[in-house]
């Protein structure tokens, strides 16, 4: 795992977007997995801009949504589906065969997980994965205690996730479970970026970078990825004690 530090959110997002755009340039059939949420928002916007402006062929990429709030329709503006539909799928006019997002209204979630795992497997795994870090150290909805060898699974959301998650919604919503890729996917991904910005993420970044690798603090798994990069701005880096 390597750490890369940037002056601010824009520089960090621009780096990630540029790196992903270059990866698509060198591998047009790239399998890309992205988290939604506040952190990757600008990266996704800049990526779409770069792909179009630099006339990069993105017609063959595959896109995978990292996770979803169970029970929410894709029309809910706070759902991950809504985020990707509006920020990536429509702007790039991706065909349904090119992407897989968890169906949060599925009758059979076990089968939904099997479908996701098969989709990834059929495409020889994820090339680039970009994730955020939650205020409890989660990645995707791999909450504290989630096993490092999980594939896709449904999980009871942590109280912190349910509380912090309200920020995505216009009105109070009942959040209970999440459906998410597991850490086996992250460890198998050829390249992983974990991003964080702002002082509110300084404490979790310190634990992820300098703490013990443990399932009790999910983001610590990044220390085990040989091609993992933690991208942070100065504020998120402010509590790090060792020089990195």
Q: By the criterion CB under 6 A, which residues form the site for ligand F6R?
A: 35-39, 66-67, 80, 131-134, 138-140
Q: How far is the CB of 128 from ligand F6R (least distance, A)?
A: 15
Q: How far is the CB of 131 from ligand F6R (least distance, A)?
A: 6
Instruction: Please say if 143 is a catalytic residue.
Output: yes
Pairing between β-strand 177-180 and β-strand 67-69 as defined by DSSP bridges: antiparallel
Cβ-closest residue to ligand F6R? 132
Structure tokens at 237: 């880096």
Residue from 112, 127, 143, 233 carrying the catalytic annotation: 143
Phi-psi category of residue 37: left, alpha or beta, with phi > 0 → left and psi -120 to 50 → alpha: left
The sign of the torsion formed by the CA atoms of 161, 189, 224, 9 equals negative
Q: Which is nearer to ligand F6R, 29 or 199 (CB)?
A: 199
- Measured CA to CA, the distance from residue 232 to residue 44 in angstroms comes to 16
For 130, the enclosing helix (H) or strand (E) is strand 128-131
Q: Which is nearer to ligand F6R, 139 or 186 (CB)?
A: 139
Q: How far is the CB of 129 from ligand F6R (least distance, A)?
A: 11
Q: Which is nearer to ligand F6R, 56 or 117 (CB)?
A: 117
- Residue 173: exposure state from Cβ atoms within 10 A (0-12, 13-18, ≥19): middle
Q: How far is the CB of 26 from ligand F6R (least distance, A)?
A: 26
Beta pairing partners, 177: 156
Q: Which is nearer to ligand F6R, 134 or 228 (CB)?
A: 134
Do 112 and 106 meet the contact criterion of CB atoms below 8 Å apart? yes
Instruction: Please say if 127 is a catalytic residue.
Output: no
Q: HSE on the CB side for 92, CA within 13 Å?
A: 28
Show which residues are catalytic. 67, 136, 138, 143
């Amino acid at each position: 795992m390597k750490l890369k530090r940037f002056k601010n959110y824009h520089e960090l997002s621009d780096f990630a977007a540029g790196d992903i755009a270059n990866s698509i340039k060198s591998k047009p059939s790239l399998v890309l997995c992205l988290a939604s949420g506040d952190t990757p928002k600008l990266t996704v916007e800049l990526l779409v801009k770069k792909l179009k402006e630099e006339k990069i062929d993105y017609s063959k990429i595959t896109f995978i949504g990292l996770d979803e709030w169970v029970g929410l329709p894709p029309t809910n503006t706070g759902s991950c589906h809504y985020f990707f539909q509006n920020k990536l799928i429509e702007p790039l006019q991706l065909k349904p065969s090119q992407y897989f997002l968890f169906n949060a209204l599925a009758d059979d979630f076990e089968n939904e997980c099997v479908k996701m795992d098969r989709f990834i497997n059929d495409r020889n795994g994820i090339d680039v994965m970009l994730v955020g870090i939650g205020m409890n150290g989660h990645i995707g909805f791999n909450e504290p205690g989630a096993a490092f060898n999980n594939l896709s699974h449904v999980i009871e959301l942590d109280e912190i996730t349910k509380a912090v998650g309200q920020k995505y919604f216009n009105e109070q919503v009942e959040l209970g479970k999440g459906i998410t890729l597991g850490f086996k996917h992250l460890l198998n991904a050829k390249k992983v970026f974990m991003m964080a910005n702002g002082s509110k993420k300084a404490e979790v970044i310190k634990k992820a970078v300098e703490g013990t690798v443990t399932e009790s603090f999910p983001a610590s798994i990044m220390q085990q990825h040989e091609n993992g990069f933690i991208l942070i701005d100065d504020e998120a880096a402010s509590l790090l004690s060792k020089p990195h």
